[in-house]
Structure 1
Amino acid sequence: MTGEPGSLVDHVAFRLHGPLDLAALHTAFEDLVARHEPLRSRLIRQGEIPMLVSGSTPVDVSVTDLTGQGIAAATAAATSDLAVPFDLEQGSLARLRLYRLAPDDHVLVLASHHMVTDGVSQGVLLVDLETLYQARREGRPAALAPLRVQYSDFAQWQRGFLAGERLTALTRYWTDRLAQTSGRLLLPLDNPRSARRGGAYLDFTAPTGLADRVATAARQHATTPFVVLLTAFRLLLWRLTAQRDTVVGTPVSARPLAETENMVGYFLNMVVLRGTADPDASLRDLIATEHASAMSAYAHQDLPFEQLVTQLRPPREMGSTPLVQTVFSVEGQPGMSGSYLGASCEEIVLTGGRAQYDLMVKVVRDVELTARWDFDDAIIDATRITEWARQFWALVDAVTSDPDRRVRDIPGLGDVPPDPSQDDRATVEVLAWAGTADRVEPQGYLQETIAAAWQSLLGVSPGAHDALFDLGGHSLTVAQLSFRLSDTFRAHVGVAELFEYQTVAAQAEYVERLLLERAAQLSPDEREQLLDGQP
């Protein structure tokens, strides 16, 4: 429910058939922003440290009349609007967009910046917005209990919680658990990596009855459906890469306090699951091993993923995320459908986002299993994803059939080549990561200055066409970069623009435009100094 992977905008989108009270909806959204502090936050500067502070910001609501133009026009307009970056320095960090197709036919999009919401938060926002909307329509107070704490209170508590011996123990656990691995997954690629990612998704439904068999297997092995499905996914990765030792990320909602249940904020953390596919082990043993590994990882999930990456400093490659390139998750229910705001409702998927990872597989457990495969279509073709999905369901079938079967006896797994040796692995990585050697060094004063700022913040030397987020950057990195470049060039280098221009070369072109605009207002001598790189 949180939009395209890698997007800086989390969103939910619905088509609503039925009457809407637009005035009540607008006022209800104002109430929603007033209720949840992160939605009315903005970025301020304290030295070089970016801080989100709450305050009063304009509420961002718009209605676009597309009467008679059809659903395709609405989804195109909504996708285009989602591509517009938030202004972190001015707010607001939430938007409500309504696209009218007919008097009783609308597309509603609720969007927020990914720094201030996660999937659970989106659910909270939807429930609260509907409650506030009905209250406004009926002219009565909303039946929402006041929030006892806000996200800033939780953040302060977390800083104290993740300190001292606890932080030391968590860091030691993950350092030991992930020793001797770069996390690099050698998936076969169809195209060389480049600085800019693509983004696409495909949905696949499991064969009839597989959902019940997964649930039965989970009970028999005293584990969860997630572990059963993860075991099959681990075997798929072994088949695809010949790597027995693989790393997979899984997102968790880190809300340890009861007070956070109805709170809006970014609580999501990525837990790293390392596992081994032993061809001589039985499926029973493999499931037990995955269960033990997952339970241990969950018990140590409080260390933020960004801190883990900073601590481990894994190799970074153009077009690839550090440590985790593949994400696997399981959800217990499908997306929202039925009714919303008093109208019949169907969820809409808006595409066009940029994949954050090479591959993200999300299995939804309902009457039958469905799986959404989000992938970087700049490097992996849809036909390959379709084949991987077929193999995955076949492995789920195998894992839930005969627990005493050896892994190597499963069709398609007996002929997996040996795990590459260290020397062979280096060769395989060069082939699998083709294109990463096509590095272009930063050239000229602007590119070199911006690259130096990146290196200071990320601890890695970027090429001219490397993308900031592919090298481990995140939202606060962009804010720090904005402050640093603004000081260097004595011009306002905007956060929103740095989100839009994500490579060294693109940011250099943007800064050059800023300097030329500034130069037009200077004397000839001042202009010459500025353009010679003496801001």
Structure 2
Amino acid sequence: MTAVRTEVRRPERVSDQPPARGISYNQEQICLLSSFYPGNQAYNAQAAIHVRGELDLAVLERAVSYVVARHEMLRTTISLDDDGFRATVHEPFDFAIPLHDLSGLPSPDRLPACDAVRRGLQDRVFDVARLPLLTIDAVRLAADEWTLIQVEHHVVHDGWSFGRLWEEIQVAYNALATGRQPDLPPLQAQYQQFVSWQRGRMEGEYGQEAVDFWADYLDGAADVSLGGTPARVDSLDGHLIEATVPADTYGRIRQTARRMAVSPFVLMFSVYARLLAARSGKTDFCVGISVHGRTEAELEPLIGMMVNAMPVRVTVRAEDPPDRVARGIQTSMFRALRYSDVPLSLIVRRMKLTQKPGRNPVFQHCFSFHDSRVPRLEFGGASAEIHEEQSQTAKFEMNIVVIPPSDTRDATHARMFWQFSQRAFARAEAVAFVRDYEHELARVLRES
């Protein structure tokens, strides 16, 4: 009797997957790089939430506890054993928010004291094998003025998750404050199911097709480095420079981008690429951008680390006008976005690229928009404004994060965070590069 071989079709829905014991490719890359730099804060994500009005801290703790119980990723730890990295999902727990009461200080001393508390909290070092990996501290400045300081490890966080987290905390707080139970829609999947789905997808036909694409896309691109070979690779210390793009300048960016038939992000990215080309003498190279990996509707409400660092191949010739460079970059970016959910670590591994401490094997510079939606917060009668922060660290030679204005942010200007590796740049060199970018951006806006 001949056995009939039946091909079993792998379920395509994330919610059909069994929870994985391991971790995602996205988390794995962070854990591997963190092991190169023990005790660093480069993978801390932080924000300050400024609250005006009365805030019930006990209700806020219950609201955060509800969200932590709802999302397994917020109560998951990661350990390393003989079989690799393993995830452990812990039972729900009562989330504690430490209080730092500065309301008794003289009024002029409160904000400086709050800044000191914030700096101390943001320098904390997380152990991914121990809870909590998300912390929120409350600083009371007055009876009707607070600052909430959020710090978490990047293995549980991405920009999309940040907005979802505070949307759900707000809903839960406002329900609990009025004696009701929160009633958020059930999640269709949890993060460990995403891990199973991602691993199955990347280890199958799609993953091979995607890596073949990336091998062809990256073939021949130069390695651009402005900082030379670092003398030491045991540190991720960086120079952080925050710059402001005024509202009128950002308005001109929008207008110019529209005339060029590109997005404001591509326009600002292309100015940076032209500056890299001029400084390095290279005309064909890659710059990284951050893209969210939520390709399935089931993943949109989920809190977890799914963002990818995606290479964008850039071709810049000295004789090309800015609009041609920008449109060429946009075309290249659209081509790459077809496989934007492929983790960089998988590309590196499948292409057998050498990964060394202190050097990314694909690109040394990253330029991204952080434009994920953030909510306008209200806690009962109190209003709150979210203020994202960056740290004095650098995972690349240069990492630029632009936070553009949006309808959910009160600011009409854009914020630019420039992170320069101290291994590659002196502080004065970093300041000069930012100034040169601003001058080049102004010239493009003036002449285009």
TM norm structure 2: 0.79
Partners of 2:126 and 2:133 within 8 A in 1: yes
User: 1:129: Cα distance to partner?
Assistant: 0.7
User: 1:31: Cα distance to partner?
Assistant: 0.6
Counterpart residue number, 1:294: 333
Distance 2:246 2:54 in 1: 39
Does the residue aligned with 1:115 lie in a helix, a strand or coil? Answer: helix
Root-mean-square deviation over aligned CA pairs: 2.9
Greater alpha carbon shift after TM alignment, 200-209 vs 271-280:
200-209
CA 1:182 to 1:310, structure 2 compared with 1: closer, same or farther past 3 Å?
farther
Counterpart residue number, 2:74: 39
Partners of 1:57 and 1:92 within 8 A in 2: no
Does the residue aligned with 1:100 lie in a helix, a strand or coil? Answer: strand
- State whether structure 2 residue 235 is matched by structure 1 residue 196: yes
Any stretches of 5+ residues in structure 1 without a counterpart?
404-535
Distance 1:86 1:341 in 2: 32
Distance 2:222 2:282 in 1: 12
User: 1:40: Cα distance to partner?
Assistant: 1.3
Partners of 1:29 and 1:96 within 8 A in 2: no
Greater alpha carbon shift after TM alignment, 18-27 vs 334-343:
334-343
Counterpart residue number, 2:429: 384
Query: Which amino acid in 2 is paired with 1:17?
Result: R
Counterpart residue number, 1:9: 44
CA 1:107 to 1:229, structure 2 compared with 1: closer, same or farther past 3 Å?
same
- The superposition leaves residues 262-310 of structure 1 with CA deviations (integer Å, 9 ceiling, x where unpaired) of 1101110011012121122333332221111111111121211111122
Query: Which amino acid in 2 is paired with 1:373?
Result: W
Counterpart residue number, 1:70: 110
Aligned residues: 398
- State whether structure 2 residue 86 is matched by structure 1 residue 51: yes
Distance 2:126 2:234 in 1: 23
Query: Which amino acid in 2 is paired with 1:391?
Result: D
Distance 1:81 1:208 in 2: 32
- State whether structure 2 residue 127 is matched by structure 1 residue 92: no
Distance 1:289 1:397 in 2: 21
Counterpart residue number, 1:281: 320
Query: Which amino acid in 2 is paired with 1:142?
Result: P
Distance 2:382 2:374 in 1: 17
Partners of 1:228 and 1:399 within 8 A in 2: no
Counterpart residue number, 1:321: 360
- State whether structure 2 residue 125 is matched by structure 1 residue 80: no
Distance 2:67 2:81 in 1: 28
User: 1:244: Cα distance to partner?
Assistant: 1.8
Partners of 1:251 and 1:271 within 8 A in 2: yes
User: 1:234: Cα distance to partner?
Assistant: 0.8
Counterpart residue number, 1:428: none
User: 1:208: Cα distance to partner?
Assistant: 6.4
Partners of 2:240 and 2:391 within 8 A in 1: no
Query: Which amino acid in 2 is paired with 1:169?
Result: E
Query: Which amino acid in 2 is paired with 1:29?
Result: V
CA 1:226 to 1:90, structure 2 compared with 1: closer, same or farther past 3 Å?
closer
Partners of 1:16 and 1:107 within 8 A in 2: yes
- The superposition leaves residues 459-487 of structure 1 with CA deviations (integer Å, 9 ceiling, x where unpaired) of xxxxxxxxxxxxxxxxxxxxxxxxxxxxx
User: 1:324: Cα distance to partner?
Assistant: 2.3
- Equivalent of 1:221, from 260, 272, 283? 260
Counterpart residue number, 1:22: 57
Partners of 1:234 and 1:275 within 8 A in 2: yes
Query: Which amino acid in 2 is paired with 1:283?
Result: P
Distance 2:80 2:231 in 1: 39
CA 1:184 to 1:48, structure 2 compared with 1: closer, same or farther past 3 Å?
farther
Partners of 1:66 and 1:74 within 8 A in 2: no
User: 1:143: Cα distance to partner?
Assistant: 3.9
- Equivalent of 1:112, from 152, 159, 182? 152
